[in-house]
Copies of this chain bind each other. A is one copy, B any other.
């Protein structure tokens, strides 16, 4: 099979280099798909009429580059595409771009406005934390995080999200990203390698779970959220959900579905991974409490400050049911012996002094203005598009007419300086309406109107190209 993919010039020197380049190109262009098992070096050498050393050298170079994986007993396989540092450049969760300075452009979903970051309050909280810091705080600490923060956080999550967590059960993580990495490792340790996943769902979280060795099984989402009956049919023993504000559709998991999901977990011993990623922000009513609060024995709860303060703080948290605690804490210990302590103490000060609540109130009211501005601008410039989901979070979704190619639309929008996310990129299975995920939290109302006018121009020209 490989012979057809590889063209070597045997007259030229550097056959190993030629073979490496040919294989690298085949992987980059998708001709060798992730997971493809390569022939043994001996077999390929025979097929190509090369010495085995040439093939070994090429394989080793590509393994070192992360493009191939070599495991004893399993041979050499093409690495998952996501293992390479090429995360989607404008991901739904604002994942980092390999090149810097792409900036927070209008319509990029999942990022708060850096101009709203409470610099003064954060500086004062950090100073108070430094002042109150003991000698023991400077030592290696509890890998699960500073006790002071876990205490404040447990109280905050109980009060604001109706969570039921003990401080001792919380693990402070380097953003939600690390929480998912730890969960994935703990699931694998327990022999669980398949996880149900909302379809459409968060492309970012998907990358984390897949990179850490889990296979995702799509479970459809409808207007009531995750289809629990469909989940039950998959036979998986863990499932990822965003109950308070489904990403990207914006629907809320309906009460009957919540009960059914918890019942599924208790019946099967399954674990629910709840990503409470932007639930502080609901604009039309009080937010729905988190699922963890009604089933702490069945839910692994994940949150962070990335949507509420700033992704750069890399502060997240994780609370798991008792029987998962030792595994998750061990994984955290051996991942990094715990995260930086001083900013944990600063965030504890921010929570304790009420400054976090005040910041959230301000952000909520400003976000609501921006969402209203976006809805109004869509109505003005693109009156035919339907907005889905409840008034919450940092983004909304508009469906496009079926003849549009949302990836192409986003590429043209990027040329106009906009950064919406194509809805199709959040799907695990083919089909479904094209659409756009539009962020509004980081853009002022005036800019939002201009951005939508630009988008309308893109869509006007896009229909003919779509």
Interface residues of A (CB under 8 A from B): 60-61, 63-67, 69-72, 79, 82-85, 87, 94-96, 98, 100-101, 103-104, 111, 114-115, 117, 119, 122-123, 126-127, 130, 133, 135-143, 147, 173-175, 177-178, 181, 188-191, 193, 207-208, 211-212, 269, 306, 310-315, 323-324, 326-327, 329-330, 333-343
A67 / chain B contacts, CB cutoff of 8 Å: 326
Asked if B71 and A191 make an inter-chain contact with CB atoms under 8 angstroms apart, the answer reads yes
Asked if B313 and A342 make an inter-chain contact with CB atoms under 8 angstroms apart, the answer reads yes
Measured between C-beta atoms, what is the minimum distance from A377 to chain B in Å? 23
Q: Please tell me which one of the listed residues B66, B188, B207, B330 contacts residue A84 in the complex, with CB atoms under 8 A apart.
A: B330
The residue on B at minimum CB distance from A113 is B135
Asked if B143 and A175 make an inter-chain contact with CB atoms under 8 angstroms apart, the answer reads no
- Per the bound structure, the CA–CA distance linking A84 and B115 in Å amounts to 43
Asked if A326 and B103 make an inter-chain contact with CB atoms under 8 angstroms apart, the answer reads no
- Per the bound structure, the CA–CA distance linking A115 and B136 in Å amounts to 10
Asked if A138 and B117 make an inter-chain contact with CB atoms under 8 angstroms apart, the answer reads yes
Apart from the given pairs A114-B138, A174-B335, A339-B339, 20 other A-B contacts in the complex at a CB distance below 8 Å: A61-B323, A63-B327, A65-B323, A65-B327, A82-B334, A83-B189, A83-B334, A95-B140, A96-B143, A103-B135, A104-B136, A119-B130, A126-B126, A138-B310, A175-B336, A181-B334, A207-B334, A212-B334, A313-B341, A335-B335
A207 / chain B contacts, CB cutoff of 8 Å: 334
Asked if A338 and B96 make an inter-chain contact with CB atoms under 8 angstroms apart, the answer reads yes
Most chain B CB within a 10 A radius of its CB, from A181, A208, A342 = A342
28 interchain pairs, CB-CB under 8 A: A63-B189, A67-B326, A69-B189, A70-B190, A71-B188, A83-B189, A85-B143, A85-B330, A94-B139, A96-B142, A96-B143, A100-B141, A100-B142, A101-B136, A103-B136, A104-B135, A114-B139, A140-B306, A174-B335, A174-B340, A207-B334, A211-B334, A312-B342, A313-B340, A313-B341, A314-B338, A314-B341, A342-B343
Asked if B333 and A314 make an inter-chain contact with CB atoms under 8 angstroms apart, the answer reads no
Most chain B CB within a 10 A radius of its CB, from A104, A126, A335 = A335
The residue on B at minimum CB distance from A190 is B63
Q: Please tell me which one of the listed residues B66, B177, B312 contacts residue A327 in the complex, with CB atoms under 8 A apart.
A: B66
A137 / chain B contacts, CB cutoff of 8 Å: 312
Measured between C-beta atoms, what is the minimum distance from A423 to chain B in Å? 21
Given A66-B189, A84-B326, A327-B64, check contact A174 B311 (CB 8 Å): no
Asked if B181 and A324 make an inter-chain contact with CB atoms under 8 angstroms apart, the answer reads no
- Per the bound structure, the CA–CA distance linking A294 and B74 in Å amounts to 36
Asked if A189 and B70 make an inter-chain contact with CB atoms under 8 angstroms apart, the answer reads yes
Q: Which 7 pairs between the two chains have the least Cβ-Cβ distance?
A: A70-B191, A174-B336, A114-B135, A312-B341, A138-B310, A64-B323, A178-B336
Asked if B139 and A311 make an inter-chain contact with CB atoms under 8 angstroms apart, the answer reads yes
- Per the bound structure, the CA–CA distance linking A70 and B336 in Å amounts to 23
Measured between C-beta atoms, what is the minimum distance from A182 to chain B in Å? 10
Most chain B CB within a 10 A radius of its CB, from A61, A84, A174 = A174
Given A65-B323, A122-B130, check contact A311 B104 (CB 8 Å): no
